[in-house]
């Protein structure tokens, strides 16, 4: 009976972690943060400002330096208040809200893997 309970506990824990990861990756801005961190492995720490500028540019189909102040502030506030804490709670990133800095978390690699396998699958079925 104990072995069955421990297997169930492990399965429940795994399902809970997967749900947390998938929830964290639900928003496009959060997926963009993951991609930006993954594409800059040489950068140990990335500022929230830089992330906001990159994402504002991508959302408005313009180079990051051409994103307007309003566009930048909108992304910056959403990252600081919602998206980065969510990614941090899922251990995808380590977020320092005081310094407004981000670095890769222990679950970044699995988050990238989930994105890498999910996009082609969705495209195969819906495109």
Identify the CATH number of the domain in which residue 20 sits. Answer: 1.10.10.10
pLDDT beneath 70, residues of the chain: 1-10, 127
The β-bridge partners of 47 are 101
Give alpha helix (H) positions in 46-91: 48-59, 69-78, 84-89
Instruction: Show the domain range for 109.
Output: 2-126
Number of structural domains found in the chain: 1
The pLDDT assigned to 123 comes to 77
Q: Residue 61: helix, strand or coil by DSSP?
A: coil
Q: Are residues 57 and 67 in contact, defined by beta-carbon separation less than 8 angstroms?
A: yes
The pLDDT assigned to 74 comes to 98
The pLDDT assigned to 121 comes to 75
């Amino acid at each position: 009976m104990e072995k069955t309970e421990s297997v169930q506990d492990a399965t429940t824990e795994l399902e809970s972690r997967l749900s947390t990861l998938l929830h964290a990756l639900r928003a496009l801005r959060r997926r963009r943060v993951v991609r930006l961190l993954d594409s800059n492995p040489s950068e140990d720490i990335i500022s929230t400002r830089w992330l906001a500028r990159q994402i504002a540019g991508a959302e408005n189909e313009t180079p990051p330096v051409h994103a307007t102040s309003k566009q930048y502030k909108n992304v910056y506030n959403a990252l600081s208040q919602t998206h980065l804490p969510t990614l941090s709670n899922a251990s995808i990133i380590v977020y320092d809200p005081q310094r407004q800095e981000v670095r890769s978390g222990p679950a970044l690699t699995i988050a990238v893997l989930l994105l890498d396998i999910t996009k082609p699958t969705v495209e195969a079925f819906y495109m």
